[in-house]
Structure 1
């Protein structure tokens, strides 16, 4: 089994690098500056215990790769970049190629299913960071994160079990699950505050905005008949993942915070808070705070505004619930 990692940023780079370090066959697909840095000096993986340099093949486009029957694609771009990534992949890879959506949200799998026969969802629980070309950071050790997966829309198979075994050998405990999308809806509950954190800073995760976001989502899930799954409070897996400093520095916010910090021009809010707004519109459930966070996050991303410039009160005022 060869792993083709499409999107070698924080998650893709860290997972692909650790798989390669564990002896698995891996090819990374990364953007030009990142690819050049990896090609020249290897992929540097920083974690709380030190640094690891992994020499791993890297390409800049799927068409540079000759795909083989044993290949598995780990899709790890941000959701707003998924349509373009899948178009590129579909031109190069057979439709039978397994595609694992190692991404936040619940929209990527359905997009992938339009072009590929074998699609898998992955529930990514991993505090990682893409800092600069050629470098990724993992803030949890000795377990880097948990990466459960299963077929989309449901079920499991030998491919999922083989992928899980490979990941488990590479510091990412993984289980093949028949109901992976219920787990991904559970992860979405955590991700609701990502864009709010980008707008206001980490304190928003325990403030009134977070309370509204969760309340709206619970109401939408109930109306849609969605039953999310989360690790039970007494599960030993809850202690697997920690968020520790790397080289004396704490992780500077989640993925959405990093999007604003790096001024990428895009953010995942349409597929996190926007997913809840969509469910609300489908089922007649008001979602003013999720919709406001989505709009404000998109505005900040488009205009490349700095993170942590708003307050809870600003968001609630924009939502009309202040």
Structure 2
């Protein structure tokens, strides 16, 4: 199989680089300065064993590839807010022997949240979801860091909306050769919703920095509790903390990397790179949506969604809102039921 990594950033670049190290055929899809760096210098992958450079085909879209191959796997690793544009670009690409990518090729969603799988099913017949447990960083063009050891990540994999098949097992076997564990599960959404709860803190970290200290941890717990209340009200199952610990154990332990950047979550990285967008609508915003559908107040997640979007849109520095200020805003949001208080 040939893996076409659509979005060769932190997650996509790490998975693509590790697969290439394991001898798999990989094509990277990127844009802007990152694409230029990939073409000129190759993908520089920093992992606990050291840094390596991988001269892989790098393209800005399907055009340079011509017809796709029947053995291609499309690995979608863009942020969820960029999913529709990526689907529009790749769904209609012809595949050798007849048909299109949407009709014939597997699409693997290597993304946070739960929305991308639903979006993809509107276009692609064969969609696979992944619960991405992969600490990785992309803040410099051409360079991706992944500090996990002894495994780089744990990637629960399954069909969307449910089930398994031989394609999932073949992909999992390739990932297992590439420093990942990839359990093939029939209920991947249950793992993705558990990861969604963990990702509710992404916006918090993005606007206020690392979640250290009692006040930050207490606020994070309140945000997560709000999310759990919403999922429970919606009747949505999610893997328990005990299940997650049993599945991951100490398989992915962070190791300091020589020359590696300060590690931060995907939302923090978006602000650092100044992309102008952030995935909060599909993390905190997923909880807000479900809360509105099922009559559960979500003032804290509404606040974080709004703040993260404001920071991205206005180019405000990551971590520039103090935890003290954020807690005050959170308390105020709860008092006002999630609505911004009047300043008149």
Using the size of structure 2 for normalisation, the TM-score is 0.89
| Higher deviation after alignment, 304-313 or 192-201 | 304-313
**Aligned residue among 238, 252, 255 for 1:241:** 252
Q: Residues 301, 204 of structure 1: CA spacing in aligned structure 2 closer, same or farther, 3 A cutoff? A: farther
Q: Distance in 2 between matches of 1:221 and 1:114?
A: 24
**Aligned residue among 239, 248, 264 for 1:253:** 264
In the alignment, what sits opposite 2:221? 211
5+ long unaligned stretches in structure 1: none
Superposed displacement of residue 141, structure 1: 2.2
* Cα-to-partner distance string for 1:78-120 (whole Å, 9 max, x where unaligned): 0111111111111325222110000000000010111100001
Superposed displacement of residue 154, structure 1: 0.1
Specify the SS of the correspondent of 2:243.
Answer: coil
Superposed displacement of residue 34, structure 1: 1.6
Q: Is the 8 A contact 2:14 2:145 kept in 1?
A: yes
Superposed displacement of residue 142, structure 1: 2.8
Question: Is 2:136 the counterpart of 1:123?
Answer: no
Q: Distance in 2 between matches of 1:71 and 1:27?
A: 10
Using the size of structure 1 for normalisation, the TM-score is 0.95
Question: Is 2:79 the counterpart of 1:78?
Answer: yes
Specify the SS of the correspondent of 1:52.
Answer: strand
Q: Is the 8 A contact 1:76 1:101 kept in 2?
A: yes
CA RMSD, Structure 1 to Structure 2 (Å): 1.7
**Aligned residue among 256, 268, 274 for 2:279:** 268
Specify the SS of the correspondent of 1:161.
Answer: helix
Superposed displacement of residue 21, structure 1: 1.3
Specify the SS of the correspondent of 2:237.
Answer: coil
In the alignment, what sits opposite 1:94? 101
In the alignment, what sits opposite 2:96? none
Q: Is the 8 A contact 1:193 1:204 kept in 2?
A: no
In the alignment, what sits opposite 1:320? 334
| Higher deviation after alignment, 301-310 or 26-35 | 26-35
Specify the SS of the correspondent of 2:145.
Answer: strand
Superposed displacement of residue 13, structure 1: 0.7
| Higher deviation after alignment, 87-96 or 131-140 | 87-96
Superposed displacement of residue 131, structure 1: 2.6
In the alignment, what sits opposite 1:197? 205
Specify the SS of the correspondent of 2:68.
Answer: coil
Superposed displacement of residue 318, structure 1: 5.0
Superposed displacement of residue 36, structure 1: 2.1
| Higher deviation after alignment, 145-154 or 208-217 | 208-217
* Cα-to-partner distance string for 1:280-303 (whole Å, 9 max, x where unaligned): 000000000000100011011100
Q: Distance in 1 between matches of 2:173 and 2:165?
A: 13
Q: Residues 122, 37 of structure 1: CA spacing in aligned structure 2 closer, same or farther, 3 A cutoff? A: same
Q: Is the 8 A contact 1:6 1:12 kept in 2?
A: yes
5+ long unaligned stretches in structure 2: 94-99, 337-344
Q: Distance in 2 between matches of 1:249 and 1:63?
A: 34
Superposed displacement of residue 250, structure 1: 6.2
* Cα-to-partner distance string for 1:36-60 (whole Å, 9 max, x where unaligned): 2222222110123311111211111
Superposed displacement of residue 32, structure 1: 3.2
Superposed displacement of residue 225, structure 1: 0.6
Q: Distance in 2 between matches of 1:287 and 1:236?
A: 30
Q: Which runs of 4+ in 1 moved over 6 A?
A: none
Q: Distance in 2 between matches of 1:154 and 1:260?
A: 34
Q: Distance in 1 between matches of 2:70 and 2:271?
A: 39
> How many equivalent pairs are there?
322
Question: Is 2:168 the counterpart of 1:152?
Answer: no
